[in-house]
Amino acid sequence: MPPSILTINGATHSFEAGQTILDVALGSGITVPTLCNYKDTTPTGACRVCVVEVEGARTLLPACATQAAPGMVVQTESPRVVEARKMVIELLLASGNHNCLVCEANGECELQSLAYRYQVTTPDFANPPDTPYYYEDDNHMLVRDFSKCVMCGRCVRACNEWQVNQAIAIGYRGAHNKIVARGDFPYVNSDCVFCGECLQACPVGAILDKHAIGQGRPWERRLVRTTCPYCGVGCQVDVHVKDGRMVKVTGADAIPNLGKLCAKGRFGWHFVDHPDRLKTPLIKENGAFREAGWDEALDLVASRLKDIRDKEGPEKIGGWCSARVTNEENYLMQKLMRAVIGTNHVDHCARL
């Protein structure tokens, strides 16, 4: 089918069936602001930040959820559009406690960017700061601060459509709407597996990485792209580093994980700086460990293995390797066991 044509802000653009107005606009370098829209999840058209004017339509339409149609004439920044967007941003700012000063999201918050782009200040009809909002701080990984939640629903779609953990849903009705886990319980009492996908999806500071709180602003941190050390999937991660120390880990939008991570990859990195971490080999003598050099330790292991093989036979020895080393290292381990020791007892912790 030949591509069809529509007009955006006076210029014509071609599009293919199935594309939304937003797809066409972004593909043509026109930025239409969005908030609830989240990569590769069902567009809900709910936040109304992306509304555009379409000739002949009675109301404004959400660019993210409206299919492009041949001959459509679209305005993305007309006065009518800007007026509605500003009011939507005002309403969102007023819906919670949006004092950016100590907010973790400051500098990477999508609501803040919207307010800046449309020069919307906190409206004077904002809630008094003492409005009771639920604040969840009872687990080791995530903090949920509902005074910042804009009910975009991205976390719900991330949990349900990306991770398929189905741990959270939108609950209640109207202005009482709230993200709920099970019977509106804390995450720890729900089906949540702490993958942190909701954290990654949240456009504002409503879901926080607990250990990163107060550990530095986005612009103070350096990103290091690396591979998660935990399992064979090899997820790409961005390690956020400030002053030579890790602050947090986020999923990188790259093959194979496309931003997703599991609880271990996202939150299980604190061994890096842990005081209990092994820095030298230890040798146990008379029931107690003492630090040793690598040569001494390897000599000891080699001689003991040789002893056992010669006296008891090779089948008394087994090799057990780790999922946290590379495939090549695992290959060498089994080679050592089979070819040097002569045993087939080889296993791997990922079988657990």
Partner 1 sequence: MTTNPGPCAIVPTDNLKPEVLDRLEAIIAGRRATPGNLLPVLHEAQEIMGYVPAPMQAAIAAGLNLPGSDIFGTMSFYSMFAWKPRGKYIVRMCQSPPCHVNGAENMLQALQAELGLAVGQTTADGLFTLELSACLGICEVAPAMQINEVVHGNLTREKIGQIIADYRAGKAPDFRQLPYSTKDYRHYKHCPAEPVLMDNVGLIDPMEIQAYLDRGGYGALKKALTTMTPEAVVEEVKTSGLRGRGGAGFPAGLKWSFTRPLTVTPKYIVCNADEGEPGTIKDRYLMEGDPHKVLEGMAIAGYAVGASRGFIYCRGEYYLSQHRLQHAINQATAQGFLGEKLFGTDFSFNVEIRSGGGCYICGEETALIESVEGKRGYPRLKPPFPGVSGLWGRPTVVNNVETLSSVPAIINRGGAWYKSLGTPDTSGTKIYQVIGHVQTPQIVEAPVGLTLRELIDTYGGGLRPGRSFKMCQTGGASAGLVTAESLDVPMDFGSLAEAGGALGSGTMLVMDESTCVLDFLRAVAVFFAHESCGQCTPCREGTLRLLQTITRIYQGRGKMEDLAFLERLAATLQDASYCPLGQSAGVPLMSALKHFRPEIEAHIQEKKCRAGACQAHPS
Choose among 54, 45, 56: nearest CA to 81: 54
Is 88 a binder of ligand SF4 (CB under 6 A)? Answer: no
Q: Which residues, numbered 187-226, are part of the site for partner 1 (CB under 8 A)?
A: 189-191
- In the complex with ligand SF4, the residue whose CB is nearer, 78 or 139, is 139
**Which of 150, 235, 247, 249 is close enough to bind ligand SF4 by CB under 6 A?**
150
Cβ atoms of residues 113 and 87 within 8 Å:
no
Give the nearest distance from C-beta 106 to partner 1 in angstroms: 22
Instruction: Decide: is 98 part of the binding site for ligand SF4 (CB under 6 A).
Output: yes
Please state the closest distance from residue 265 (CB atom) to partner 1, in A.
Answer: 24
Select the span of 5-13, 180-188, 215-223, 275-283 touching partner 1 (CB under 8 A). 180-188
Q: For residues 4 and 70, is the Cβ–Cβ distance under 8 A?
A: yes
* 279 interacts with, out of ligand FES, partner 1, ligand SF4, none, CB within 5 to 8 A per kind: none
Applying CB under 8 A, the site for partner 1 has a residue count of 57
CB 232 within 8 A of CB 329: no
Considering the complex, what minimum distance in angstroms separates the CB of residue 159 from ligand SF4?
3
Pull the structure tokens for residue 153: 């629903």
b (16+ CB within 10 A) / e for 176-191: eeebbbeeeebbeebe
- The count of chain residues that interact with ligand FES, using the rule CB under 6 A, is 12
The neighbouring-strand residues paired with 233 are none
The residue within the footprint of ligand FES, chosen from 24, 64, 81, 155 (CB under 6 A), is: 64
Shorter beta-carbon distance to ligand FES: residue 150 or 237: 150
Task: Enumerate residues 3-62 that contact ligand FES by CB under 6 A.
Answer: 34-37, 45-50, 62
Q: How far apart are CA 172 and CA 180, in angstroms?
A: 9
With binding defined as CB under 8 A, does residue 18 bind partner 1?
Answer: no
94 binds partner 1 (CB under 8 A): yes
Instruction: Find out whether 86 and 120 touch, Cβ atoms under 8 Å.
Output: yes
Which residue, 37 or 95, has its beta carbon nearer to ligand FES? 37
The C-alpha atoms of residue 296 and residue 292 are separated, in whole angstroms, by 7
Q: Which residues make up the interface to ligand FES (CB under 6 A)? A: 34-37, 45-50, 62, 64
Q: Which residues make up the interface to partner 1 (CB under 8 A)?
A: 44-49, 51, 59-60, 62, 65-66, 80, 83-84, 87-88, 91-92, 94-96, 125, 127, 131-134, 136, 146-147, 150-151, 160, 166-178, 180-186, 189-191
Judged by the rule CB under 6 A, the positions of this chain that interact with ligand SF4 are: 98-100, 103, 105-106, 109, 111-112, 148-155, 158-159, 163, 165, 167-168, 179, 187, 192-198, 201-202, 204-207
